[in-house]
């Protein structure tokens, strides 16, 4: 199996993560008036949708920063890039990319903790709310700092192997299909 298919698939997951986050911001990142609109239009639906999107963001960051192998199974994770570079004795590149990955790995600890204690497993102490410390919340700035590090990592790799970069953060939603359209339709519906 070659490196390019692995990188392309990782890149697709990173692009999808950015797209999902942009949709999240379009729907849930608005002013108080927009939040009130969502609450009037389906508070339970939008609460659940918001929670599921944030859980998906946490899961995706966790998967991307997983080890390259667990037991006998290989993971599609960023660590596959390190394995490829190591097998090809690209020590200079590894010296450049590993510190970026280390920063990213440290940055996303809240996502991994959320996955391990709430999403993938139901940690008893956290579920009973008797844990010494509750799980930390996920803020907009936390997600965006994590995305920035992820982009830096991916573009460092892409520049090294393909002499190009991807503007993951600049995604265009197809006309009349994104969060802004949903908000516009909800506003219009409540005005009738």
User: How much is the mean pLDDT over the chain?
Assistant: 94
- Rounded to an integer, what distance in angstroms lies between the CA atom of residue 56 and that of residue 116? 13
| pTM of the predicted model as reported, rounded to 2 decimal places | 0.93
Q: Where are the domains of the chain?
A: 3-191
pLDDT mean over 100-110: 97
Residue-wise pLDDT tens digits, 131-147 = 998 888 899 999 999 99
R_g over Cα of the chain: 19
Residue-wise pLDDT tens digits, 12-52 = 999 999 999 999 999 999 999 999 999 999 999 999 999 99
- Give the three-state DSSP class for 156: helix
């Amino acid at each position: 199996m070659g490196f390019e298919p692995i990188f392309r698939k990782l890149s697709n997951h990173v692009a999808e993560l950015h797209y999902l986050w942009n949709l999240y911001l379009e729907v849930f990142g608005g002013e108080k008036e927009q939040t009130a609109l969502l609450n009037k239009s389906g508070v339970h639906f939008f609460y659940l949708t918001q929670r599921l999107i944030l859980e998906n963001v946490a899961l995706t960051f966790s998967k991307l920063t997983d080890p390259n192998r667990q037991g006998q199974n290989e993971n599609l994770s960023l660590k596959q890039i390190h394995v490829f570079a190591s097998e090809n004795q690209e020590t200079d590149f590894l010296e450049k990319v590993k510190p970026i990955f280390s920063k990213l790995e440290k940055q996303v600890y809240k996502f991994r903790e959320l996955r391990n204690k709430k999403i993938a497993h139901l940690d008893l102490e956290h579920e009973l709310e008797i844990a010494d410390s509750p799980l930390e919340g996920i803020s907009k700035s936390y997600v965006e700092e994590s995305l920035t590090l992820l982009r830096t990592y991916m573009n460092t790799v892409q520049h090294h192997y393909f002499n190009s970069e991807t503007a993951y953060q600049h995604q265009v939603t197809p006309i009349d299909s994104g969060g802004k359209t949903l908000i516009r339709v909800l506003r219009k519906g409540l005005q009738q």
